[in-house]
Amino acid sequence: MSKEITSRASDYSQWYNDLVIKGELADYSAVRGCMVIKPYGYALWENMRDQLDRKFKETGHVNAYFPLFVPKSLFEAEEKNAEGFAKECAVVTHYRLKNDPNNPGKLMVDPEAKLEEELVIRPTSEAIIWNTYKGWIQSYRDLPILVNQWANVVRWEMRTRLFLRTAEFLWQEGHTAHATKEEAIEETTKMLDVYADFVENYMAVPVIKGVKTKNERFAGAEDTYCIEALMQDGKALQAGTSHFLGQNFAKAFDVQYLTKENKKEYVWATSWGVSTRLIGALIMAHSDDQGLIMPPRIAPLQVVIVPIYKGEESKPIIDEKVSLLINDLKSQGISVKYDNSDHARPGWKFAEYELKGVPVRVAMGLRDIENNVVELARRDTKEKSSVSFDGLAMYIKNLLEEIQQNIFNKALAFRNENIREANSWDEFVELLDTKAGFVSAHWDGSEDTEEKIKEKTKATIRCIPLQNKQEEGKCILTGNPSTQRVLFARAY
């Protein structure tokens, strides 16, 4: 198998595609804009999902499942939300096929089977969920509702990219209902913290927490909080969002509750989500020209063991020694694969597992067994060392943690080096064109200015960082007074 990877320097986009496909995370499918997530990629998603799911439950949430289809009349109830998503909705209009009389062996949509009301395939589930919540909420005693769902959604995107933007994608969406505005806002920021914690501590991708400007807000939200990450090519990627929805959906679906004082009040809402897009972030934040680099805490496979056989008689000796190690590793909760397949030689396997980003590789031959050592190679630094067999599992356990930290620190250093301040328009444009990354600059707060900057430079305001330093300044475009800097970048 030829598995040459395009280098980042020669073609960044192709490098990314090569990693996804040759690293066997996903593949193109027969359906436009939709990908097949392959077992290795799905195992990664499962690990991410499990960690997030645990965090959601720790913060009091429960899982439920709502329908894939949303009747058009429900979908259009919250106008801004409907408007925002209308252009990218897949719609079911019929419920039956029949044999095509003019085309034997072929099927056609049965015109007799037209639906009374079209069904929108959910691009997001606020509508169907808030329609449901109407029936669940009568009293303040019914609140809060803290529900999450793991689901697929469809957004008919013009231009798709593996993981980063596919027509169908997997995600989770939390939808909560609260008695007060304060409680809902607290929930919004709490879940943003959950996301930031997960992305930084498990995916090892540093993020900036912030608030979106009005232009960039989720359709139907009062405020959109986000975490923004920086990719190796200097472009920003929105890694997760948490929305304070105010009473917009409660009003659209007439969801009211009785207070202790027997007064009717509209319910306050939040929604928050992360998707398989995070896998794109993971790839672009860490990987190198040799392939993927998986953070140990969510790696589909943490350790691979490659035997170095010398003649038939060496096999049982090595296999036996390795089985001891496998038991030790498993008892430490470490995932391990012993690749003793005979159809590939060691060098091939080394390259293969580097491509797949397995954090630690153990090589063992007779020479090592005689010396009671193994050869240990770490994916992040590509360093190889000879390590004693005694206490090896514990050594590897610690090494995995060290790799996790190292990957994060490296990404953090890169991110921090690539936040630069611009104090004039010329400086701003030059930074965007020559350095990319985040540019911290003053903005006068007007939507119009934001739009003009986007038109001129393709850079958008990624966020207004939380706890942002307040300082007097002048907008880089208009020169109007400004009280704080915001983060600009070109983004995915």
Partner RNA sequence: CGGGAUGUAGCGUAGCCCGGUUAUCGCGCCUGGUUUGGGACCAGGAGGUCGCAAGUUCGAAUCUUGCCAUCCCGACCA
CB of 4 to RNA, least distance (A): 6
CB of 170 to RNA, least distance (A): 9
Residue number, 37 or 377, with CB nearest to RNA = 377
CB of 202 to RNA, least distance (A): 18
Total Cβ atoms within 10 A of residue 76: 16
CB of 134 to RNA, least distance (A): 25
β partners of residue 438: 419
β partners of residue 37: 26
CB of 293 to RNA, least distance (A): 14
Total Cβ atoms within 10 A of residue 282: 27
Residue number, 137 or 407, with CB nearest to RNA = 407
β partners of residue 62: 147
> What one-character DSSP code corresponds to residue 139?
B
Q: In angstroms, rounded to a whole number, what is the distance separating the alpha carbons of residues 332 and 228? A: 34
* Torsion sign over Cα 196, 48, 191, 68: positive
Q: In angstroms, rounded to a whole number, what is the distance separating the alpha carbons of residues 467 and 105? A: 65
Which parts of 65-161 fold into alpha helices (H)?
A: 72-75, 79-86, 126-136
> What one-character DSSP code corresponds to residue 267?
P
> 200: exposed, middle or buried (C-beta count within 10 Å: 0-12, 13-18, 19+)?
middle
- Let me know the angle formed at the C-alpha of 41 by 70 and 209, rounded to the nearest 5 degrees: 70
Residue 481: cis peptide before it, omega within 30 degrees of 0: no
Residue number, 165 or 420, with CB nearest to RNA = 165
Residue number, 185 or 306, with CB nearest to RNA = 306
Q: Which of 296, 336, 340, 337 is nearest to 317 (CA)?
A: 340
Q: Which of 449, 455, 436, 438 is nearest to 475 (CA)?
A: 449
Residue number, 291 or 300, with CB nearest to RNA = 291
Q: In angstroms, rounded to a whole number, what is the distance separating the alpha carbons of residues 394 and 488? A: 44
3-state secondary structure at position 244: strand
Residue number, 179 or 463, with CB nearest to RNA = 463
Residue number, 344 or 412, with CB nearest to RNA = 344
CB of 483 to RNA, least distance (A): 26
Chain contacts with RNA (rule: CB under 7 A)? 1-5, 13-14, 16-17, 28, 32-33, 84, 87-88, 155, 157-162, 164-167, 169, 216, 218-219, 238, 241, 273, 275-277, 290, 308-311, 315, 342-348, 350-352, 354-355, 363-368, 375, 377, 382, 384, 458, 491-492
Q: Which of 489, 372, 486 is nearest to 437 (CA)?
A: 489
CB of 484 to RNA, least distance (A): 23
CB of 386 to RNA, least distance (A): 8
Residue number, 187 or 354, with CB nearest to RNA = 354
Residue number, 29 or 424, with CB nearest to RNA = 29
Are 192 and 465 in contact, with CB atoms under 8 Å apart?
Answer: no
Tell me the longest C-alpha to C-alpha distance in the chain: 84
CB of 155 to RNA, least distance (A): 5
Residue number, 137 or 392, with CB nearest to RNA = 392
CB of 324 to RNA, least distance (A): 17
Are 267 and 133 in contact, with CB atoms under 8 Å apart?
Answer: yes
Residue number, 38 or 161, with CB nearest to RNA = 161
Q: Which of 68, 21, 58 is nearest to 163 (CA)?
A: 21
- Find tokens 């008919």 and name the residue: 156
CB of 373 to RNA, least distance (A): 8
